[in-house]
A and B are shown apart, each in its own frame.
Chain A
Amino acid sequence: MNEEDLVKKWLAGALSESERLSFEETETYRKLQRMDGILQQMKAPDYDVEAEEKKLPTASQPAGVVPIWRRNAFLKIAASLLLVLSAALAIGYMSMGDETIKVLAATKTTAYLPDSSEVVLNNASSLTYSKSRWNKARVVELSGEGFFKVTHGSRFDVKTSSGTVTVVGTQFNVKSRAGYFEVQCYEGTVKVRSNGSEQMLRKGQGWRLIGGLSAALELGAGDGPSWMGNESRFESVPYGQVVEEFKRQYGVKVNLVHVDVNQVFTGSFTHDNIELALQSITLPLNIKFDLEENLVRLSGDR
């Protein structure tokens, strides 16, 4: 008897005694045993027949009369409908065919697209895509910053106000803020088109456009952008952009006095501790800071 027949018979519990003994010597059997062991742990939860029976409509109720608990069932349905509705509203679901996910300041959100691609949105970012047209074209519009893990399949476009990113591979970060456009590729290949120019980015490469000037970037170690690790990291970025990012992360206002927003900053700040973050972005540049409620004052020494 070949292996297929043996396994089939074993699954049917129909092996003869001698067949069983020899089958139990095989590697296939050992693997089956292991699988069965883990499967047992996925057993359906205990179903208490007696308890469930008590929930049934009782004896004296003739068919056709709506038992009281049926009305409860209706309430249950109504309540769960309400829950589903409010949950849908909460994530900004729109029934127009276009689904918009908007992330407000001081929250990071993971969004799942219809093909189960994953987008982690940074603070103050939003993502729009058409649910109804998704099957024809995978296009999302991004304003702000997001990290994409794209499921394998047809072409995937991320449109921003500064350019379009077309995915050829899988994982990348797009940052599109006022006067700032940056793409970092963490896995696979990404094509960036902006103002008529085109770049191919491979794993570990990035590309940036600030105020009309573009530059290639080398990415450090790590599987994703720094902000996903609750930290914003900058390399030779104009100070004004750093301050903007700081405002988005902490949802505060910032007043600048005698601070040169064009000077270049390299460093990082944490998203968890505003004092520490302020120190990180001020000390290296000899800037003083005052922190009140929701207002930060940064003053240079000129």
Chain B
Amino acid sequence: MSHEKGNVCDEGRFKTLFRELSKDLHDFLYYKYGAGNHPADIVQEAFVKLWNNCKNVPPEKARAFLFTVANNQMLNELAKRKTALRYQDTVEAKRYTLESPEFAMEEEQYRQRLHAALESLTEDQRVTFMLNRVEGKKHQEIADMLGIGRKAVEKRIYTAYKIIREQLGDF
């Protein structure tokens, strides 16, 4: 990200920011609040807010601005309609099996336990954990994204892991 003086009103700079940050923002919203809440739309709205406030936001503050605005926007939406968090199994289609019924059943049980465990995490724990495990983000990257310390990220991920591990029981 460029650290020139100025603001993000320059279109080129704005587009660069979008390319750099939109996917992270989207994934952050998805893991934190689930698929039912249209994370892509909220990303759009957050960038529009950034554009409308471009004179007041220096480029190095853009990331924090976007994450805060998007998070608040999402909370507003959620307050309006309480939606249950639901993850989609994206590889549903791949569920043809050559496996034995016992194995398939055991697999299904495992999946359900894992879902339940993820849903029992706090939003902050879940988003941190998923960004690390699924998106392969480094601790430092997540720390920058969420505006917290690297140590805090490490602690959250490990706590989340402990909780999940406990709920998985024998699995």
Residues of A within 8 A of B132 (CB): 11
A229 within 8 A of partner (CB):
no
Q: Does A55 contact B (CB under 8 A)?
A: yes
Q: How far is the CA of A63 from the CA of B27 in the complex (A)?
A: 27
- What CA separation (Å) do A39 and B133 show in the bound complex? 7
Q: In the complex, what residues of B have CB within 8 A of residue A44's CB? A: 26-27, 30-31, 39, 134-135
Among A8, A39, A67, the most chain B Cβ lie within 10 Å of the Cβ of A39
Give chain B residues whose Cβ lies under 8 Å from the Cβ of A55.
Answer: 44
Q: Does B40 contact A (CB under 8 A)?
A: yes
Task: Report the bound CA distance from A47 to B54 in whole Å.
Answer: 24
Given A11-B161, A40-B134, A53-B18: A63 touches B54 (CB 8 Å cut-off): yes
Interface residue? B11 (CB, 8 A): yes
A12 within 8 A of B: yes
Q: Is A212 an interface residue (CB 8 A)?
A: no
A52 contact set on B, CB distance < 8 A: 18, 22, 40, 43-44
Q: Does B35 interact with chain A (Cβ within 8 Å)?
A: yes
Check A53–B158 contact: CB distance below 8 A.
no
Pick the contact of A38: B39, B54, B111, B138 (CB < 8 A): B111
User: Which residues of the partner chain B approach A4 to less than 8 Å between Cβ atoms?
Assistant: 158
Task: Indicate if the CB atoms of A38 and B48 lie closer than 8 Å.
Answer: no
Q: A38-B111, A39-B134, A63-B52 are in contact. Are A53 and B80 (CB under 8 A)?
A: no
Does A35 make an interface contact (CB < 8 A)? yes
Cβ of A31 to closest chain B Cβ, rounded Å: 7
User: Would you call B145 an interface residue if the criterion is a C-beta within 8 Å of the partner chain's C-beta atoms?
Assistant: no
Closest chain A residue, CB of each to CB of B91: A41
A residues near B99, Cβ cutoff 8 Å: none
The verdict on B15 contacting chain A, using a C-beta distance below 8 Å, is: yes
- The count of chain A contact residues (Cβ–Cβ below 8 Å) is 33
Q: Is B66 an interface residue (CB 8 A)?
A: no
A64 touches B158 (CB 8 A): no
Q: In the complex where A42-B89, A43-B134 touch, is A53 in contact with B48 (Cβ < 8 A)?
A: no
The answer to whether A47 and B27 touch across the interface, beta carbons within 8 angstroms, is yes
Q: Does A222 contact B (CB under 8 A)?
A: no
User: What is the distance, in angstroms, from B41's C-beta to the closest C-beta of chain A?
Assistant: 8
| Distance from B67 Cβ to chain A, minimum over Cβ atoms (Å) | 15
- Whether A73 touches B11, Cβ cut-off 8 Å, given contacts A39-B134, A63-B54, is no
Contact with A along B115-153 (1 / 0, CB 8 A): 000100000000000101111001100000000000000
- Mark contacts of A55-84 with chain B using CB atoms, 8 A cut-off: 1 yes-contact digit, 0 otherwise: 111010001100100100100100000001
A206 and B92 CA atoms in complex are apart in Å by: 42
- Residues facing B in A7-58 (CB within 8 A) are 7-8, 11-13, 31, 34-36, 38-45, 47, 49, 52-53, 55-57
Is the CB of B61 closer than 8 A to any CB of chain A? no
* A35-B114, A63-B51 given; A41·B89 CB < 8 A: yes
Is the pair A34, B110 in contact by a Cβ cutoff of 8 Å?
Answer: yes
Please report B residues at the A interface, Cβ cutoff 8 Å.
9, 11, 15, 18-19, 22-23, 26-27, 30-31, 35, 39-41, 43-45, 47-48, 51-52, 54-55, 80-81, 87-91, 110-111, 114, 118, 130, 132-135, 138-139, 154, 157-158, 161, 164-165, 168, 171
Q: Which residues of A does B touch, CB under 8 Å?
A: 4, 7-8, 11-13, 31, 34-36, 38-45, 47, 49, 52-53, 55-57, 59, 63-64, 67, 70, 73, 76, 84
Contact sample, A vs B, 12 pairs, CB 8 Å cutoff: A4-B158, A31-B171, A34-B171, A35-B114, A35-B133, A44-B27, A52-B18, A56-B18, A56-B48, A59-B11, A64-B52, A76-B41
